[in-house]
Amino acid sequence: MTENENTTNDPIIICEDVHKWFDDFHVLKGITTSFKKGERAVICGPSGSGKSTFIRTINRLEEHQRGTIIVDGIELSNDLRNINLIRQEVGMVFQQFNLFPHLSNLKNITLGPMRVRKLSKRQAEEEALALLERMDIADQAYKYPSEVSGGQQQRVAIARALAMEPKIMLFDEPTSALDPEMISEVLDVMRELAHSGMTMLVVTHEMGFAREVADRIMFFDEGVVIEEAAPADFFDNPQHERTKLFISQTLQH
């Protein structure tokens, strides 16, 4: 595990007893945790364990029904202004990229900065081109999402989230929809981002990435966190039976 010199002791996300139901189905059964500024947390677990739902409650794409979530001092409630404030501070990257197909890659990135941060077109485009440069795909700026590869689309999506200058980045299985040979180009970008000091919550099955980058690994099962530890402890000395089984299954291949 690499020492993360970026973390501070101030929590930027605080979750207290967060519950969520989809009709009768109890997805999140009381999640209590907090994330420090600059922390890199990897969230894993079997499908249906509530891990995606959990990170989606943090920018209110899912509404939690009980408990409190405080992001950078703002409590998530039904107050639309609070939700919009938090969404400006929290970037999100999706499994299916969700780029806007009717806009060029560049316009995908400038939409938020121009409409929400109220930047001029020129300034937004300059920033977007700089981000694409950082993602190593500046030459794809004027193409449409459908004209570039999956790995490139996901990097455009990361640039789109970063263009809002967020304090926190959420990644919801960012490499699960990619062809194997494109996974590393996306992970490289995420690694670079982690080293820049961004607070990151990553739902992923990439255990190599988790071991290398994470400060903490949280293991979800049936809506509760059953184990959380630093990567070294998590992989080499798992405590829970369920975790042991998961690790042996994922590390087999």
Partner 1 sequence: MAGFFYSNMMSGLSDQGHPLSLSFLRNEAGFEITEGIDFDPSDTYLKAFWVGVVNTLRVSILGIICATVLGFIFGVARLSTNWLIRSIAAVYVEIFRNVPLLLQILFWYAITLSLPRIQDSITIADTIILNVRGIYLPTIAGNEGLPVWLWYLLSGVGLAIIVVLCYAGLRLLIDSTEVQQTDRPSFASNTILGAKWFAAPVFLIVAIAGWFLSPGQPLQIVRPELQGFNYVGGINFTPEFLALLVGLTVYTSAYIAEVVRSGIQAVVKGQREAARAVGLTETQVLLLVVIPQAIPIIVPPLTSQYLNLAKNSSLAIAIGFLDLFHVGRRMIAQTGQTIPIFGMIMVSYLIMSLTTSAFMNWYNRRITRFER
Residue 66 pairs with which residues in a beta bridge? 19
Minimum separation from the CB atom of position 179 to partner 1 (A): 18
Question: Could you say whether residue 54 binds partner 1 (CB under 8 A)?
Answer: no
Q: Of 213, 253, 251, whose CA–CA distance to 230 is shortest?
A: 213
DSSP lists the bridge partners of residue 16 as 68
Q: How far is 138 from 147, CA to CA, in rounded Å?
A: 14
Tell which one of 87, 158, 219, 238 touches partner 1 (CB under 8 A).
87
Classify 121 in phi/psi space as left (phi over 0), alpha (psi -120 to 50) or beta.
alpha
Among 35, 94, 219, 246, binds partner 1 (CB under 8 A): 94
Provide the minimum distance between the beta carbon of 146 and partner 1 in the complex, in angstroms, as a whole number: 4
Near partner 1 by CB under 8 A, which window of 35-43, 156-164, 200-208, 221-229? 156-164
The verdict on 91 binding partner 1 (CB under 8 A) reads yes
Distance CA 64, CA 85 (A): 18
Q: Which of residues 56-75 bind partner 1 (CB under 8 A)?
A: 59, 61
Tokens of 128: 């977007």
SS3 250: helix
Interacting residue with partner 1 among 73, 78, 102, 181 (CB under 8 A): 102
Rank residues 64 and 87 by Cβ distance to partner 1 and give the closer one.
Answer: 87
Beta bridge partners of 21: 26
Q: Which of 65, 66, 115, 179 binds partner 1 (CB under 8 A)?
A: 115
Contact 213, 42 (CB under 8 A): yes
Task: Identify which of residues 161 and 217 has a Cβ nearer to partner 1 in the complex.
Answer: 161
Q: What is the CA radius of gyration of the chain?
A: 18
Does residue number 129 form part of the binding site for partner 1 (CB under 8 A)?
yes
Of 82, 144, 188, 233, the one binding partner 1 (CB under 8 A) is 144
Interaction between residue 27 and partner 1 (CB under 8 A): no
Closest distance to partner 1 from the beta carbon of 253 (Å) = 28
CA–CA gap between residue 192 and residue 198 (Å, rounded):
10
Report the residue number, 1 or 83, with the smaller CB distance to partner 1.
83
Q: Tell me which stretch binds partner 1 (CB under 8 A): 25-33, 99-107, 229-237, 244-252.
A: 99-107
The verdict on 142 binding partner 1 (CB under 8 A) reads yes
The least distance separating partner 1 from the CB of residue 120, rounded to whole angstroms, comes to 12
What are all long-range contacts of 212-217, with beta carbons under 8 Å and residues at least 24 apart? 212/2, 213/2, 213/40, 213/42, 214/1, 214/40, 214/41, 214/42, 215/1, 215/4, 215/7, 215/39, 215/40, 215/41, 216/39, 216/40, 216/41, 216/42, 217/41, 217/42, 217/43, 217/44
Interface residues with partner 1 (CB under 8 A)?
59, 61, 84, 87-88, 90-92, 94, 96, 98-102, 111-112, 115-116, 129, 141-142, 144, 146, 157, 160-161, 164
